[in-house]
Amino acid sequence: MLIISKLVSFLLSPAHWLYFAVLLLLLVRNKKWKKRMAVMAIAILLVFSNPLLFRWAYQAWEVKQPALTGSYGAVILPGGMADYDLRNQGHFNYASDRFIQAALLYHSGKAPYIIVTGGNGFINRDIPPEALFLKTALETLQVPPGRIITETRSRNTRENALYTREKADSLALKGPMILVTSAMHMRRCLEEFGKAGLTIIPYSCNYEVLDTDAPFYDHLWPDVSLLQSWGRLFKEWIGWTIAHFRK
């Protein structure tokens, strides 16, 4: 299943669609097909680099943030915000806001524990579990080691949920629990963690689109980086659909 998931993620990216359209445009000799590939490449670029279209789709998908009142059983922090280099040295990536928000929630007294869930999600790389890197980083922010619960087996969102449930049950932790993840990823996370039997309060962060007072025309200028963002959004749509209809 992990291999299938990685393959689907690759195929869902408009950046890859554009690459293959341009490649075929250069390789095929038939004039009709050359024209078709040129039209396809231009259409992909125009549609999926449009900030306004992405903004509409993203904000329709993201989960709105409820108010946090009272205290909770734990803060759940799934992986996906760090990677290892060739020396097995951990580094944070673009999604590191998840880590920051989880630490802030703990220090504000919202929950007595942080459950860090994440192993090695790569097929062809032998790297340490991400949860161990995040645990060390949390300790540098004065989160006591005894308040950090690590789950190191999971390789995807479904396993994050299932193994977190096992950890919570083994320690008799009671819900509801605060789930901290990227706004784009939250809806699928809620589906998976809910199916695992956990009562979850969403705490979205790492927003890719914010409500601002920027002029309308600022959202019309093409942004080629959005081709990759669309790929991540498509992955979330497919992942949520599979989770929702899975028995």
Same domain (yes/no): 154, 179: yes
Both 80 and 198 in one domain: the answer is yes
User: Looking at the structure, do residues 41 and 85 belong to the same domain, yes or no?
Assistant: no
The answer to whether 178 touches 203, Cβ cutoff 8 Å, is yes
Residue 129 shares a structural domain with residue 233: no
- The CATH number for 183's domain is 3.40.50.620
Q: What percent of the chain has pLDDT over 90?
A: 75
pLDDT in tens, 129-173: 999 999 999 999 999 999 999 999 999 999 999 999 999 999 999
State both tokens at 177.
């629990």
Model confidence at 2: pLDDT above 70:
no
93 and 181 co-located in one domain: yes
Q: Output DSSP code: residue 16.
A: H
Model pLDDT for residues 191-219, shown as the tens digit of each residue: 999 999 999 999 999 999 888 777 777 77
Count of the separate structural domains present in the chain: 2
pTM as predicted: 0.89
pLDDT given for residue 6 in this prediction: 66
CB atoms within 10 A of CB 206: 21
36 and 148 part of one domain: no
Question: Token pair for residue 228?
Answer: 């990759």
Beta strands at 82-84 and 90-92: parallel, antiparallel or unpaired: antiparallel
Domain extent at residue 53: 2-62+221-245
Count Cα neighbours of 26 within 13 Å in the Cβ-side half-sphere: 5
**Is the same domain home to 83 and 197?**
yes
Question: Pairing relation of β-strands 148-151 and 114-117?
Answer: parallel
Same domain for 229 and 148, yes or no, is no
- Considering the domain architecture, whether residues 105 and 196 belong to the same structural domain is answered as yes
81 and 58 fall within a common domain:
no
Bridge partners of residue 150, in order along the sequence = 116
